[in-house]
Amino acid sequence: MLIRRHPLNAWLIVALMAMGPLALADTGTNEQSTSQSFQISARVEPGCILGGGAADTTNFGTIDFGRLGQLAADIKVASSSGNGSVMLQCTPDTPITIAIDAGLHGSGGTRYLAKGNETLRYQLYQDEAFSVVWGDNRGTGTALSMTFPSTGVQTLPIYARLFRETTLPSAGIYTDVVTVTVTY
């Protein structure tokens, strides 16, 4: 018996032989996978930064009583941003206490500007009525306690009084340095 080959059958055999390696390839139906979730977190602690930027500021500027020819009456000034005001940023709703020490020359609850051994009496206040001495709760006035507002930089003015003198002080520059401490 004679078997006839059809040209289409020959082509089909050649095509199947060429596709053989592909027919054995993994189609992905046997793939397996597993997954697991994990948590990402950040804990914000209460905190404060002195100054108006992203980093601490170590200099608030100077409260300047100006050029004086006499001290027959008290001289009162208010600080401004960059000129003695306390600038700070804190975590919102953080309870804070802001204390100002007696300065380098303070004594007995009074602050002094000094030039050598000569001094001029002055005081720092929390209010523009000059009635609440801003101190550190240790002999020189009262520290300011507050809850920090929701956002932003807060600028807290300091009110300063240079007390009158009965005798004219000698010419020169009288200075003092106070330290601001924020506790939270």
- How confident is the model over 70-105, as pLDDT tens digits? 899 999 999 987 788 899 999 999 999 999 999 999
Report helix, strand or coil for 84.
strand
Q: Residue 143's closest CA among 183, 85, 93, 110?
A: 183
The verdict on pTM exceeding 0.85 is: no
Task: Give which of 178, 93, 113, 101 is closest to 141, Cα–Cα.
Answer: 101
Q: Would you call 57 helix, strand, or coil by DSSP?
A: coil
Q: pLDDT digit string (tens) for 15-58?
A: 656 665 555 555 567 889 999 999 999 998 888 988 866 555 56
Structural domains of the chain ordered from first start: 50-184 (2.60.40.1090)
Rg of the chain on CA atoms, in Å: 39
Contact by Cβ (8 Å): 121, 38? no
